[in-house]
Amino acid sequence: MRTILLFAISSLLTSTSAAPKLDNKGLVLTTNGIIRGIIDGARPAVRQFLGIPYAKPPLGDLRFAPPQRALPFGSLNATKMPPSCMQYIGSTPNIIINDVLEFNIGGSNASDPLHTSEDCLTLSIWAPRNPKKKGLPVLVFFYGGAFLNGGTDVPYQIPTQWIQRTQNLIVVTFNHRGNIFGYPNAAGLPLEEQNVGLLDQRMAVEWLRDNIAAFGGDPNRIGAWGMSSGAVAMAYYSYMYRDDPILNSLIMDSGNEFIDILTKDPAHANFTFMAEQFGCGDLNPAAELSCMRQVNASAMQDFMRVYSDDGKTPIITFSPIVDNRTVFANYTALAEEGKVARIPVLIGSNAQDGEIFVPYNPDGVDTTVADLITMTWFFCPSYQSAKVRTNAKTGPVYRYLYSGNFTNISPRPWMGAWHGAELPLVFGTHSLYRDTSTELEYETSHAMQGAWHAFVATAGEKPSIEGWDAWDQVAGGRVVEFGNGVPARLLDTTEMERECQVVR
């Protein structure tokens, strides 16, 4: 307890330090040019490099197109948090709009053009100023948001505190296109170029492979951590780039290949419907696509926001489609054929994942429906992914369950470990908003940070928690539960697994 109090006092004192200043430790030479970052006066042991372009701006003829490598930029002051890709925040009440705004870009509960741009294909790097060793492991975060929302400028998802405390890891976050800009499903595009948001992700990882050593990272120890749709995208990635994953490990957090949030629109009706709203109707596919590349990006997002908020039909959706290049129809069959990357995986979910997906009521939600969603959308798909990967012998598979219930993240009594509630614990941002963090909250945060670090640092060979064995559906193996009265404990989930009807 004394250590935690001293940490809190230290944080309070340093928060009054000097404003961020240019990083005088030195310039970083990359394949695109020389980069200079900043040192935050409140977190002086962290070097921050914010808004580095990893691809050309996807503007004009590059809208809806696969990403192209960034051009040389000579020198770059990477000193400001970059805008996130185009998106909107709807008005339907839910936890992150009504109660916990720090999960939204810019910490806002309303669409804010100051925090979004179509010129958004950038990544940001947080590195120790005084690393304990050379060649640090690197963790790349794939954010969630149903392939519609999310970005690097999310208050709860900025790892400065984590790096300040540990000095043993580099964390990277990056923007990638979503919604219609990332998944247009337009008749004028070839099938293999519909899921360009997923192609953005690969280009960001390739940029890191080529450049992370200049920031003190080990290019052979780059692991990925994805949450929700970010974890779904990572799972797709492991099949898509099975022969050259670049990544040494995957942490799939409340998402995997068996969560279906795909768009099923073979007639391309959604894109054509949008085209009709902006004077691009009644055109052949090529002309329709060309016309839509000239439409104002904000106008498109504003239309979708109003259309969605008004509950109009037909419902229009833009998320990945099955193209048998980036997204496949049968992942069980692919795994059985050995067509998946052979790298270790950590798979988990939250005890109350489903609460955010049922109609919101400040006094509580329908727990029967929420619990059903938790099992069918999250816990059971995680169990299925673990089974499939274990059977395919892709590498060690570890499992976890997050069950923390902390009032500064779950301010209403019924919330519990809702979808995303684990993120402030891992990023170390839990103490920054609302109530003071508890001793258990700090300890759980440190346990999760240690587990994530150990997984990428050792490629899953040496878990940070004693007794945490690789899982096997026949021989067994333990699941670690975080935050349920103690920071971490071994858990038997056999009874929960019996509720899962895994369908091949």
Residue 228 among the catalytic residues: yes
This prediction's pTM: 0.92
Residue 109 confidence (pLDDT) above 90: no
452: phi then psi, degrees, rounded to nearest 5: -65, -45
Determine which one of 228, 410, 431, 437 is catalytic: 228
Q: Which domains does the chain have, with CATH numbers?
A: 2-265+304-498 (3.40.50.1820)
The C-alpha atoms of residue 484 and residue 35 are separated, in whole angstroms, by 43
Do the beta carbons of residue 324 and residue 240 sit within 8 Å?
no
- pLDDT, tens only, 273-324: 999 999 999 999 999 999 999 999 999 999 999 999 898 988 999 999 999 9
Mean pLDDT of all residues in 25-48: 91
Please write the tens of the pLDDT for every residue from 404-415: 999 999 999 999
Residue 206: how many CA atoms within 13 Å on its side-chain side?
15
pLDDT of 165 reads 96
pLDDT bucket at 113, cuts 50 / 70 / 90: low
Alpha helix segments (H runs only) across 278-422 = 285-292, 297-309, 331-336, 367-373, 380-391
Those residues whose C-beta lies under 8 Å from the C-beta of residue 406, and which sit 6 or more positions away, are 421, 430, 437, 438, 440, 441, 483
Q: What is the mean pLDDT of the chain?
A: 91
- Specify whether the CB–CB gap between 470 and 398 falls below 8 A: yes
Q: Is residue 25 pLDDT above 70, yes or no?
A: no
Task: Please tell me the predicted confidence (pLDDT) of residue 446.
Answer: 98
Flag whether pLDDT at 503 surpasses 50: no
Retrieve residue 280's tokens. 């691009």
Helices 2-14 and 439-457 meet at what angle, rounded to 10? 80
Residue 481 phi/psi, 5° resolution? -105, 130
- pLDDT score of 110 more than 80: no
Task: Average the pLDDT over 17-34 and give the result.
Answer: 75
